[in-house]
């Protein structure tokens, strides 16, 4: 039965030689954490690259995205207001439904180019179910961040992963394959 479902894919996710997908202390000035920009050659200052955009565009089979709240933005805890609309400006590169995992709900955000951010508060399986419905048989891209990908891996829900290992050492931050509590 699994072959009939959309695949959950991780494509072109960058990690350091020591396995970190983000440096420590993410904020507006360091969207991928301190030192994390080294994971993204050609970074446009908003945490994405032209290379990433081309890779995803070539995938062509993506019908929906799932991401964690850290990938959506640097705001922690309850939303202070609804002014933050993501790192990408008014026309994000996704051009489809994006399901953002969070503990703090907020209204859906429709954007230019067909991107709509949906905030999911009831867990990874619910987000995957909603993404599958939105994808209409196409695959779902699990964009990150690190903790979100790790959670889906541990649940056995990732069908395919493509990792790009960058020749840098971060030494700390968010490790893709293990967590401090392991």
177 pLDDT more than 70: yes
DSSP string, 19-41: SEEE-SS--SS-TT-TTGGGGST
pLDDT in tens, 112-131: 999 999 999 999 999 999 99
Q: Is the pTM of this model over 0.75?
A: yes
Tell me the mean pLDDT in the region 162-169: 93
CATH 3.40.430.10 corresponds to the domain 2-175 = yes
Selected residue with higher pLDDT from 107 and 39: 107
What was the pLDDT predicted at 76?
Answer: 84
User: What per-residue confidence (pLDDT) applies to 25?
Assistant: 87
- Exposure on the CB side of residue 124, measured as CA atoms within 13 A: 17
Mean residue pLDDT of the chain comes to 86
Q: Which of 151, 149, 144, 96 is nearest to 118 (CA)?
A: 96
What pLDDT does 32 receive? 84
Domain residue extents for the chain: 2-175
């Amino acid at each position: 039965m699994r072959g009939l479902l959309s695949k959950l894919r991780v494509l072109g996710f960058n990690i350091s030689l020591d396995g970190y997908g983000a440096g420590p202390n993410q904020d507006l000035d360091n969207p991928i954490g301190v030192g994390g920009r080294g994971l993204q050659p050609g970074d446009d200052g908003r945490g994405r690259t032209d290379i990433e955009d081309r890779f995803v565009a070539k995938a062509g089979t993506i019908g929906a995205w799932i991401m964690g709240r850290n990938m959506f933005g640097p705001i922690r805890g309850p939303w202070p207001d609804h002014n933050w609309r993501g790192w990408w400006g008014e026309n994000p590169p996704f051009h489809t439904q994006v399901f953002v995992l969070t503990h703090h709900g907020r209204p859906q955000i429709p954007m230019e180019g067909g991107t709509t951010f949906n905030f999911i508060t009831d867990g990874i399986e619910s987000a995957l179910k909603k993404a599958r419905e939105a994808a209409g048989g196409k695959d779902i891209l699990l964009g990150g961040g690190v903790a979100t990908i790790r959670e889906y891996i541990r649940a056995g829900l990732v069908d395919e992963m493509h990792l790009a290992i960058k020749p840098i050492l971060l030494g700390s931050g968010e490790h893709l394959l293990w967590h401090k509590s392991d």
